[in-house]
A = this chain, B = another copy of it.
């Protein structure tokens, strides 16, 4: 093992490189990336565009110099085109359009994902953007800086859509979110989605839910978004955030088999079905701890973990990816919205008998100033009592994120709902209750039997 070649310089690729280096001081490590922004925090783009992060360079988890210090060779602005697994060679486009062939002993494909382009006319008009790369980000930023940019329509009410609604409102823009589902932010139950909708409206964002966009057209210098239910909005800019699909062309060139919904197929060692080729991050299918099967859950946390496993195994280790629970949190104005595990509908499909109970409880003793209500939805299996999932919405300073992590840690260990009451959790009146709201929700679930 002399040369570890990694295609992709974002979370999964860089994690693989760092882990490999940590375990093997002598291996040559090359990371090939299509732009010159290795190890950038894609999740941070909304906060750059909002103005909260003043210098985009701060979005780098590590600088190029820091990566070089780890003895990682970076090929910036290089795009890998074809893998020849028989000869262990990757053909790569150099910046000057010349072509380079790189030999590898082990290869990690971490090509990430690309935004979904919804099948509507007008996506290529000036002023229509998606948000995935630093280049996207700079283009949006330039447009936002123009004095005549006053209104934006966001297509899609997922994570990026919600964060961008927050970010652009902070810039004093007139923002409208258009979503296809009947309640927005459908990664959580509709009851909580309505809370998010209220929070958006409270901050002046207009919301059109249950609407299908049919086209984007131009009206002079402005754009017009039109769709079902008489939707017609004029705006200076349109942001398309309709989710992502795995970027798999390179893997296909190597004859690698695909897995769940067209993502690259991998086992839990992050090996593809082609020898000496690993894959990790937003381009691969992801093992789900509860479903006990692969799914597609492109998340930065998962990309880091999978990259780390791929890097470790690529230099001779023997580690398995433990799996995902789909744990997620997002800040939307003053709210944190978090989830882990399965919701009713998801659990139903997987053969469970889910029951979900909702509780509203304060984050700390209400007699101490500044208590915020938390809305917790807890899902368990009616028959076995197994904890299946949880969702929490509350003020973003009310420890929503780390409370969902208590649930996530419990789920990781296959806890039963009832046993959450046995957890020895911390308490002081300014920060909690003798029974944490996590446990109160478990008690309510038990009583609802």
Contact = CB atoms under 8 A, between A and B. Distances in A.
A16 to B, nearest CB: 14
A151 interface: no
B367 A53 contact: yes
Nearest to A331: B430
A145 interface: no
Contacts of A435: 301, 304
A399 B368 CA distance: 17
A44 B365 CA distance: 9
Task: Please tell me the size bucket of the interface on A.
Answer: 35 or more
Given A300-B434, A367-B58, A367-B59, A330 B428 contact: yes
Contacts of A338: 426
B22 A429 contact: no
Contacts of A302: 424
B422 A401 contact: no
Given A44-B368, A409-B409, A424-B340, A396 B431 contact: yes
B402 A399 contact: yes
A329 B47 contact: no
Interface string A397-416: 10111111110111011000
B425 A301 contact: yes
Contacts of A324: 424
A409 B429 contact: no
A192 interface: no
Between A59, A61, A425, A426, the greatest number of chain B beta carbons within 10 A of the residue's beta carbon is seen for A426
A405 B425 contact: yes
A421 B43 CA distance: 20
A426 B327 contact: yes
Interface string A169-184: 0000000000000000
A361 to B, nearest CB: 13
Contact of A336 (B325, B328, B431, B436): B431
A305 interface: yes
Between A412, A425, A432, the greatest number of chain B beta carbons within 10 A of the residue's beta carbon is seen for A425
Given A53-B368, A401-B399, A301 B427 contact: yes
Contact of A409 (B53, B365, B396, B406): B406
Contacts of A43: 427-429, 434
7 shortest A-B CB distances, which residue pairs?
A402-B402, A322-B422, A329-B426, A58-B367, A409-B409, A401-B431, A325-B424
16 contacts: A22-B447, A41-B367, A41-B429, A58-B366, A308-B421, A328-B426, A340-B426, A397-B397, A402-B402, A402-B405, A404-B426, A405-B423, A405-B426, A408-B424, A408-B426, A412-B423
Given A340-B424, A402-B405, 4 more contacts: A44-B429, A304-B435, A305-B421, A400-B431
